[in-house]
């Protein structure tokens, strides 16, 4: 009879070092539009289909890291976001692209960050709101819910009273 062994524990691979948010460009390449507060709403302006085109093409490795470095301020928050929204980033080569589904989830996190930044007036406050557990989300943070678009949209409705997204006719056919 074969002997029984305890299963080996799974070990997490160390994450690549993320660049600090202070070294990022003024207008990140993942930021598809702008947002302004028109009390009590946040108005978002984007090119029609920009998020879809970028998601279908797949976010490049550097753009995904730039987005994660912008919307998170701690390594714990970055790990949570990668583990829930884009687990493929752990094994992605620096020249590779994320899948369409992972790209779409990360871009929705980016859009939620832009909305929260406009609503609060501060990037630091927006980062804190993304990482803070909310009772309406079962005491989970929006980053914990970033595994689905529905979870992110639910978090957005709890954090911002009303968001209106206005799409321009600009096709933005530039490649990322």
Task: Check whether 12 has a pLDDT greater than 70.
Answer: no
Judge whether 53 and 67 are in contact, CB under 8 Å. Answer: no
Rg (CA), the chain: 17
The domain segmentation of the chain, as residue ranges, is 32-168
* 80-to-15, 39, 91, 142, 167 alpha-carbon distances in Å: 12, 32, 16, 10, 30
Cα gap 155→116, rounded to integer Å:
11
Name the band, by pLDDT with cuts 50, 70 and 90, for residue 20: very low
Indicate the Cα dihedral angle 101, 137, 117, 32, nearest 10°: 20
Q: In terms of C-beta density within 10 A (0-12 exposed, 13-18 middle, 19 or more buried), how is residue 115 classed?
A: buried
Closest residue by Cα to residue 21 from 77, 74, 69: 69
Q: For the chain, first and last CA: distance in Å?
A: 58
pLDDT at 60: 92
Q: What is the pLDDT of residues 116-163, one digit of tens each?
A: 888 888 899 999 999 999 888 899 999 999 999 899 888 888 888 776
**Residue 79 burial by CB count (10 A; 0-12/13-18/19+): exposed, middle or buried?**
middle
What's this model's pTM, rounded to 2 decimal places? 0.72
Arithmetic mean of pLDDT over the chain:
79
Q: What φ, ψ does residue 26 adopt, rounded to 5°?
A: -60, -40
């Amino acid at each position: 009879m074969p002997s029984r062994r305890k299963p080996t524990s799974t070990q997490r691979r160390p994450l690549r070092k993320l660049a600090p948010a202070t070294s990022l460009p003024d207008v990140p390449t993942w930021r598809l539009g702008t947002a302004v507060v028109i009390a009590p709403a946040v108005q978002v302006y984007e090119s029609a289909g920009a998020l879809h085109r970028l998601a279908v093409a797949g976010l490049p490795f550097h753009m995904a890291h730039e987005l994660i470095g912008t919307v998170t301020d701690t390594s714990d928050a970055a790990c949570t976001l990668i583990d829930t929204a884009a687990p493929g980033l752990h094994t992605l080569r620096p020249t590779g692209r994320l899948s369409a589904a992972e790209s779409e989830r990360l871009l929705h996190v980016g859009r939620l960050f832009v909305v929260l930044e406009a609503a609060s007036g501060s990037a630091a406050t927006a980062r804190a709101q993304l990482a803070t557990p909310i009772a309406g989300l079962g005491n989970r943070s929006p980053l914990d819910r970033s595994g689905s678009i529905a979870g992110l949209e639910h978090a957005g409705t709890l954090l911002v009273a009303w968001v209106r997204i206005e799409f321009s006719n600009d096709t933005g056919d530039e490649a990322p």
